[in-house]
Structure 1
Amino acid sequence: MRHSADNPQHWNRRSILKSSAVIALQRLGMPMASSLGLMANAAAQSANDYKALVCVFLFGANDHYNTVIPYDLSTHSTYFNIRKGTITAGSIYDGIAIPRDALAATALSTPLSGGRQMALNPEMSALKSVFENKRASVLMNIGPLLVPTSLAQYNNKSVPLPPKLFSHNDQQAYWQSSYQAEGAATGWGGRAADLLMSGNSRSALTCISVNGNALFLSGQNAISYQMSTSGATTVNAIRSKSLFGSVTCANALQTLITQSSAIPMANDYSTVTKRALDTYDGILSAIGTTASTTVNSLFPTSATNSLSAQLKMVARLIEQQSVLGIKRQVFMVGMGGFDLHDFLPTQHPALLQKLSSAMKEFDDAMISLGKSNQVTSFTASDFGRTLASNGDGSDHGWGSHHFVMGGAVNGGRYFGIAPEIGLTHTQQVGSGRLLPSTAIEQLGAELATWFGVSSTDVKTVLPNASKFDLNKLGLFKS
């Protein structure tokens, strides 16, 4: 049930707890408000081996047209003529278009049906190597849908559409929840974790964000545990046993914030606080304060690349999953800066270089740790962008292209339906904004099934899944 903060009729103990406790617990690595106080038992399934999902969120809406780029002569010419403009000094760009000769080194060897060719952005050579080694694939034109939708249906408004299209906050929430815009209480990563977390000795470590609050990781029972790139956070005065220079004061503070209470809300507050402190101890014991030599050597850009540093922390936790007693985990990492209405030629390449390098480093780490077949990563973003230029940037779109990576993935392929390139075809709704041909539910269903969710329970994870063909993509090796 959705509880609205604007409607007093919907306020109950859970709502009050969520609102009052979140700020106080944020420094303890505890979850966003939508998860606090949820204590019900999960519907558990068997999870005898380790598997992890890693969501890499690109906040601001990545320009997919300059990420996965037409390379064959015909479609590249169309792309280039639409996006060309004033040449940016010191840049390869013509307007916001990338010349074909700049794409030769990152052209992908696998063609689309009909002989069309694609290339990655020139700054994505690292991820290109993962694709060519058949460890990553491209998911074409995916986005939020309520039902399969044609251009005629969109124009005639004859089918329901996702709420508040083209809005950053709402579409970030929709991608993470799969069925609600801003105000959603749970995400599909958290709901998948709800079903499998009983196999974990430390359930608090089932869902971990290294990028702040994460709706994607919030379940009815699963709680999004927040960490930094340095590790778990805690109350330093308690752990150092020195509040105002006094051990007695530190112990008194710990007792105060963890003691049980006859008041239900206060008791729930102390329960989650105690769990956060206990979880910190478990993480510190397992991964220490520095990365192992193996992990540290595999993330050479982590000092200057926030996404690399986040994925390095994920790798450290995966390395110690057996020590921590974890069989199923869902992680979220992310990077921002993608809302490039302006300065796309000068800012977008650096963002993609960091994304590409970090994902390659993480893939190398999973191979080195022997976890490659057990960890699947995927990118997500608010929405795609327009093909049409607004000068030196692009505007809000809908469908977008994304990456799926891991040893279990059918790598070196394109999944979904590759859209035409242009401003007037039936797969766009204006200015080249793509009308998604693949729904979030179709990606989520295959990821959840690989993760261990039964076909029956996929609809619990993705409530709108029944509206779509869930056997369409074939992301994973049989």
Structure 2
Amino acid sequence: MKTQMHKTMSRRRFLAGCGKMTGIGAMSSILSLKMTNKLFAARATGSITDYKGLVCLFMFGGNDSFNMLTPGVDGYSDYLDTRGILGISQAEMHQIFDGSQDYHLSPNMGSVKTLFDNEELSFIANVGTLIQPTSLAEYNAGSVSLPYGRFSHNDQIEQWQTSISLSKTTPFAGTGWAGRMIDVLNDAANNNATTSVSLSPYGANTTQVGKLSSPFNTYKGVDSLDLYDTDSLVKGGMDATLEMQYASVLHAHHNYIREDALEQSALLEDIEQNTVIATAFPDSGLGQQLLQVAKYIKAQGPEGLNANRQTFFVGQGGFDTHGGGIEAHNGLMASVSAALMAFNEAMKEIGYHDRVVTYTASDFGRTLVPNSAGSDHGWGGNQMVMGGPVNGGKVFGQYPSILTETTTDVGRGRQLPTTSVDEFYASLAYWFGVENNSEMEEVVPNIRNFWTAGSSDIPISGLFG
């Protein structure tokens, strides 16, 4: 009886271990086979002299970004009149200057003010999903194609992450803009080895999903080797499984991915545990995500990741501020500001400040006119771009009037975007190495509505100095 029970429990333990490995290897967004092959080839022959890293900070819920970046002195009375209970006194805000034009930042964004003043961060004003340039008259007349589900979380997250127009019959894009960019750059003709890593625990990340690539998801940490390293039964069973020769192509393919997943897990676990970053990061979810990004960026070289291009995805939740008043949003801005400052300093520490760009994204902006305790779903909003390559200390785009019934107000202060997500991403992609030809059209399908093929003057002109 004891022998039979021991056999049963051992088998269960082994199968549980195999299930954990199998899930990590093939069903947990780890790495596609092509991407894995590309990565290991890079570790043998790659060079990091042309390294570039792109980090997306997605603010889930819809950032009330006209309280993040508010008007200057001349427009402040209009801001207070329109925002009502959400208006913040000018004395509490941080004043910044783009040339002679001033703006103000949320009270808890002192670190972002420092980054802006040091010309290491800029803002992009009134960015949102569009299919083509659109005026208020065209919007009201319905004479141009408009984004699907403009004030819906799911629809707008999907379009922000994919830069693909959706419809009622096609509500999901399937691939993200950065994933398609990785596909393009992984083409043999480009001779770039790339990796994508997702660390966000909030919501879906379609941004990094391509047709031939997918992100390595490490938001819970790389602990996939626990049973393999500590349980001899699991290790023996897994090793025996990996050594088997399969007649079935499907089984062989699955086993190969599982084998590569173990090696990848070991590599990333080693990076997480042994790569040292001296810069102090906030003990917050976002702070710790960006600390891991800094470790992955530092871990280049033949024994590390050794990729020419890397994309990263981190997230901060809580931005659906229908309630909570000013305090809720101010607290979120404090978390974002502190984490961005730490990450910027870490990039300087490891010598990658001039090679890494961090940008923010969110579902949408929010209504300027408040509800009883917060704000509701909007459209256009303000975003940040940070890093050594950025032409810092600027507010790019057209900052709108913070009044209702203006040429950008589609109702309750919802802002008709004056810079499209497509223009934003095309500018980032061009810096990252995508050519403004059919490659760019693959990455940003609607870009020809905003940017002429072959032009080297990027849509957000001057964003990179």
TM range (shorter): 0.7 to 0.9
Q: What is the root-mean-square deviation of aligned Cα atoms in Å?
A: 2.9
Q: Answer yes or no: is the 8 Å Cα contact 2:32–2:212 preserved in 1.
A: no
Q: Tell me the residue number matched to 2:446.
A: 464
Q: Answer yes or no: is the 8 Å Cα contact 2:123–2:385 preserved in 1.
A: yes
When normalised by structure 2's length, the TM-score is 0.84
Matched, 1:317 2:296: yes
Q: Which of residues 300, 324, 329 is equivalent to 1:348? A: 329
Q: Answer yes or no: is the 8 Å Cα contact 2:21–2:224 preserved in 1.
A: no
Q: Tell me the residue number matched to 2:6.
A: none
Q: Tell me the residue number matched to 2:357.
A: 376
Q: Answer yes or no: is the 8 Å Cα contact 1:141–1:436 preserved in 2.
A: yes
Q: Answer yes or no: is the 8 Å Cα contact 1:149–1:159 preserved in 2.
A: yes
Identity of aligned residues (%): 34
Letter in 1 for 2:261: A
Q: Answer yes or no: is the 8 Å Cα contact 1:29–1:225 preserved in 2.
A: no
Distance 1:432 1:450, change over 3 A: same
Q: Tell me the residue number matched to 1:407.
A: 388
Partners of 2:27 and 2:378 in 1: how far apart?
33
Q: Deviations over 1:141-199 (max 9, x none)?
A: 11111111111111111111111111111111111110045522111111111222468
Partners of 1:394 and 1:23 in 2: how far apart?
43
Q: Which stretch of structure 1 is more off in the superposition, 121-130 or 446-455?
A: 446-455
Q: CA deviation at 1:289?
A: 1.1
Letter in 2 for 1:308: G
Q: Which of residues 195, 198, 206 is equivalent to 1:206? A: 195
Partners of 2:23 and 2:327 in 1: how far apart?
35
Letter in 1 for 2:216: Y
Q: Tell me the residue number matched to 2:460.
A: 473
Q: Answer yes or no: is the 8 Å Cα contact 2:185–2:434 preserved in 1.
A: yes
Letter in 2 for 1:467: N
Letter in 1 for 2:183: D
Q: Deviations over 1:112-157 (max 9, x none)?
A: xxx6521110100001100110010000011111111111111111
Q: Which of residues 420, 423, 436 is equivalent to 1:455? A: 436
Paired residues for 1:171-320 under 5 Å:
171-181=156-166, 182-197=171-186, 206-212=195-201, 213-228=204-219, 231-240=221-230, 242=231, 247-256=232-241, 261-285=246-270, 287=271, 289-292=273-276, 295=277, 297-301=278-282, 303=283, 305-320=284-299
Aligned length: 426
Distance 1:300 1:436, change over 3 A: same
Q: Deviations over 1:401-424 (max 9, x none)?
A: 000001010000011111111110
Letter in 2 for 1:321: Q
Partners of 1:346 and 1:134 in 2: how far apart?
28
Q: Deviations over 1:207-235 (max 9, x none)?
A: 00011552111112222101136x42314
Distance 1:150 1:413, change over 3 A: same
Q: CA deviation at 1:29?
A: 9.1
Matched, 1:434 2:415: yes
Q: Which stretch of structure 1 is more off in the superposition, 454-463 or 137-146?
A: 454-463
Q: Tell me the residue number matched to 2:104.
A: 119
Q: Which stretch of structure 1 is more off in the superposition, 441-450 or 271-280?
A: 271-280
* 3-state SS of paired residue (1:191): helix
Q: Tell me the residue number matched to 2:76.
A: 76
Q: CA deviation at 1:327?
A: 1.0
Distance 1:255 1:192, change over 3 A: farther
* 3-state SS of paired residue (1:162): coil
Q: Tell me the residue number matched to 2:308.
A: 327
Q: Answer yes or no: is the 8 Å Cα contact 1:446–1:475 preserved in 2.
A: no
Q: CA deviation at 1:476?
A: 3.9
* 3-state SS of paired residue (1:109): strand
Give 5+ residue unaligned stretches, structure 2. Answer: 1-18, 453-457
Q: Deviations over 1:29-58 (max 9, x none)?
A: 96549x86778999x999851101000000
* 3-state SS of paired residue (1:228): coil
Partners of 1:250 and 1:454 in 2: how far apart?
46
Partners of 1:161 and 1:393 in 2: how far apart?
27
Q: Which of residues 339, 348, 353 is equivalent to 1:358? A: 339
Letter in 1 for 2:410: V
Distance 1:252 1:418, change over 3 A: same
Distance 1:201 1:151, change over 3 A: closer
When normalised by structure 1's length, the TM-score is 0.82
Q: Deviations over 1:66-120 (max 9, x none)?
A: 10011314x1111111222xxxxxxxxxx211011111xx110225xxx652111
Partners of 1:465 and 1:327 in 2: how far apart?
25
